Amino acid sequence: MNALRALVDEFDVIAVGLDCPYKEHVHYFATYHTEDIKTYRHNRWRAALNVNFKVISHVDRPELNISLVIPYKKPSGSSSLLAAFAAVHLKYDKVILCGCPLEGVNAKRYSYKAFRKGWTTYAPLLKGSVRSMSGWTKEFLGEPTREWLGVA
């Protein structure tokens, strides 16, 4: 996030997944795991962080107040691809992934490499408007630059 702040002053945040450590204002929360929504909201409330974010998921569950449903598409690209789809759907023309390298393993010891197929499958929907700060997604999508962002 420090590298992103060196590029731009203001941005909206889509937190991705239950383990997102972001401690500032979150505009959206994106997850394929609807069981995590209440826990994420509660954890932020307990830490005195904002909980007035909109929720993005792949299914509509009215009891969870999901604001935007982006239907699941095979192959999965993880919740980070869901967030990228949502940002494009919401008409953000410059989307920067932070902390979504798709490298290593998740808490369940599942390799993030398995999600890369979703990204390569749906690349035409993302290329040009989505870039990444780290890892495989940075190599695949490219790194954001001041020129790409249109800032001097």
How confident is the model over 50-63, as pLDDT tens digits?
999 999 999 999 99
pLDDT for res 90: 97
For the cut 90, the answer to whether the pLDDT of residue 30 exceeds it is: yes
Sorted by sequence, the CB contacts under 8 Å of residue 100 that are 6+ apart come out as 16, 78, 80, 83, 132, 134, 135, 137
pLDDT one-digit tens code per residue, 12-29: 999 998 888 899 999 999
CB-based contact 30:97 (threshold 8 Å): no
CA distance 126 to 141: 8
Average pLDDT, the chain: 94
User: Structure pTM?
Assistant: 0.93
In this predicted structure, what is the pLDDT of residue 100? 94
When pLDDT is cut at 50, 70 and 90, the band that residue 32 belongs to is: very high
Instruction: For the chain, give the percent of residues with pLDDT over 90.
Output: 86
pLDDT of residue 40: 96
| pLDDT value, residue 107 | 72
Average pLDDT over residues 76-87: 96
pLDDT at 95: 98
For residue range 118-138, what is the model confidence (pLDDT) as tens digits? 999 999 999 899 999 999 999
